[in-house]
Structure 1
Amino acid sequence: MTTQLPVLVLLPGMDGTGDLFAPLIRALGGRFETVVVRYPLDEPLIYPELLTIARAALPASRDFMLVAESFSGPIGIALASEPLPGLRGLVLCSTFARTPRPGIARILRNVDVIPMNATLIRAGLAVMLGAAADGKLRTHVARTVRRVPHEVLRARMRAVLEVDASDLLALVRAPILYLQASRDLAVPASAAAHIRTIKHDAQLVRIKGPHFLMQVRPDAVAAEIARFATAVV
């Protein structure tokens, strides 16, 4: 089965490590070959530079699907807008084409330094993990995010507040699946609505869970990815 299905190219959230895909990869149960894209931890790179890194990770001679989580949505969209012969589909999970919080973006537009400290990060992770996450998962996520320097997280957060890949989204010809977390306090439902305004045929699946959907509900996410991948082969 693995040779018949596309390779899944996994584009990570704001931590960029790719380590938080572990629950999803386990839930996929070996049905797919996966390529985990990892962004540098030692440089505050933003979307154009990270797009180059992601593009270099694409399989050269295999069919593949892009799976973009949260922060990487605009990167997945940008890649899918390119003429990539092997691309079979784009999965967007808890993510956006343009900044999901324009009100916050306007407030911080003239702020040189986005607030970033351990207390704020812990609070943010607690909100994005929700009440259903167990202690082991919370520890794993916290340890992963702590590895990322604050200046790198700050640069990526600023990039999110400024991004707009709507024009690129309009160029995407591959099928799109959007996985929406029902209790996402980071990316509002309007982000999915905006994507479907541009791509009317994008599939929308709502899964009960928080922003960290791939970590808290990996079985449900894996099932939807498998269903979508089987349909587009």
Structure 2
Amino acid sequence: MKIVLLPGLDGTGRLFSPLVQELAPGHPTQVVAYPAEEPMGYDKLEQWVRQALPPEEPFVLLAESFSGPLAMAIAASPPAGLRGLVLCATFARNPIPSLAGFRWMIPFLPIRAAPSRLLGWLLLGRMSSAAWRCAIASTLASVSVRAIRCRLRAVLSVDATAALASACVPVLYLRASQDRVVPLSATKLISETLPSTRVVSIDGPHFLLQANPTAAGRAIGDFLASIERP
């Protein structure tokens, strides 16, 4: 069964390489990258993703961080081939509600000048390294500041709980045990909204698929096996 990967805030999909290498050969992958220049919120990105989904074969949608609400919206009105949903270190609603009142600051955020060590601490925690910090910086540099700011605004105002509650496919949630970006409360909200969600906690930071791809790949493989089992 194919796995369609929806990336985090950068929208490039470049950082999926460690996970793709861990997934079984029987599960081909497709990365849906978002427009690097055009600012698009969740509604427009949903249309973009739907047009890129496999038209005639079964697939599982894997959404990392920023892309969680997108996947939930698609699962609420699923295309014919959708068989399951994997949510990783993500949220159905703004994960840090206290930041909602600071939307006015987004145009002034130093997107290009964000300290790489701070990003490494937030996203990779103790697994941060110079190589990963460089990879994150170069990936963000390939996306326009306007696009990133638009996505940040979208996160602060999103509420996909109704869509998640309507999901009619199996859902796996991969929780990063050391996540410094998405708190445990976001996981609890998803579990309360859709009690059938299978939650697997994996040791690692927010960039779970990059820092611990082996454990993540194993959990995804088990989930796919449960879907494919007669």
Instruction: Say whether the 8 Å CA contact 1:114–1:154 is kept in structure 2.
Output: no
- Structure 2 residue ranges without an equivalent (≥5): none
Task: Name the CA distance, whole Å, in 2 between partners of 1:156 and 1:124.
Answer: 17
How much has 1:150 moved relative to structure 2?
A: 1.6
| 8 Å Cα contact 1:178/1:203 also seen in 2 | yes
User: Is the 2:60–2:83 Cα contact (8 Å) retained in structure 1?
Assistant: yes
Q: 1:89–1:175: 8 Å Cα contact kept in structure 2?
A: yes
Identity %: 42
Distance 2:94 2:148 in 1: 16
TM-score, normalised relative to structure 2: 0.94
| Counterpart residue type for residue 38 of structure 1 | A
**Alpha-carbon distance between aligned partners in 2 of 1:142 and 1:17, rounded to the nearest angstrom:** 13
Out of 37, 61, 66, the residue aligned to residue 66 of structure 1 is 61
- Of the three residues 105, 117, 120, the one matched with 2:114 is 120
Is 1:8–1:66's contact at 8 Å kept on the other side of the alignment?
Answer: yes
Which structure has more helix as a fraction of its residues?
2
Match of 1:42 in 2: 37
Q: Map Cα deviations across residues 132-157 of structure 1 (whole Å, 9 max, x no partner).
A: 13433332222111211222111111
Asked if residue 220 in structure 1 is aligned to residue 228 in structure 2, the reply is: no
CA shift digits 1:208-227 (9 cap, x unpaired):
11000011111111111110
CA displacement at 1:109 relative to structure 2: 4.1
8 Å Cα contact 2:106/2:152 also seen in 1: no
For residues 121 and 72 of structure 1, the distance between their equivalents in structure 2, rounded to whole angstroms, comes to 24
Question: In the TM superposition, what whole-angstrom CA distance separates every residue of 1:191-231 from its partner, at most 9, and x where no partner exists?
Answer: 11001101111011111110000111111111111100010
Post-superposition offset of 1:121: 5.5
Aligned-partner SS, 2:210: helix
Determine the structure 1 residue equivalent to 2:84: 89
CA distance in 2, matches of 1:164, 1:85: 25
Deviation string 1:49-107 (CA, Å, 9 cap, x unpaired) is 1111111111111111000000000001011111422211100000001110110112x
**What is the aligned partner in structure 1 of residue 73 from structure 2?**
78
Q: How many residues align?
A: 227
- Distance in 1 of aligned mates of 2:115 and 2:81: 38
1:145 aligns with 2:140: yes
Residue 32 and residue 117 in structure 1: after superposition, are their counterparts in 2 closer, same or farther (change >3 A)? same
* 2:177–2:201 Cα contact (<8 Å) kept: yes
**Aligned partner of 1:28 among 20, 23, 26:** 23
Deviations 1:10-58 (A, max 9, x none): 0000000011111110111423111100001111111111111111111
**Bigger mean CA offset, 121-130 vs 19-28:** 121-130
Is 120-129 or 159-168 further displaced after alignment?
120-129
Corresponding residue number in structure 2 for 1:10 = 5
Asked whether 1:135 is paired with 2:118, we answer no
CA RMSD of aligned residues (A): 1.5
Contact 1:12/1:71 (<8 A) preserved: yes
What is the CA distance between 1:116 and its match in structure 2? 2.7
Question: What residue number does 1:3 align with?
Answer: none
Q: Give the C-alpha shift of residue 114 in structure 1.
A: 4.7
Shift of 1:179: 0.3
Residue aligned with 1:35, SS: strand
* Contact 1:183–1:209 (CA under 8 A) maintained in structure 2: yes
Q: How far apart are the structure 2 equivalents of 1:130 and 1:143?
A: 19
Map 1:182-193 → 2, pairs under 5 A: 182-193=177-188
**Which blocks of at least 5 consecutive residues in structure 1 are unaligned?**
1-5
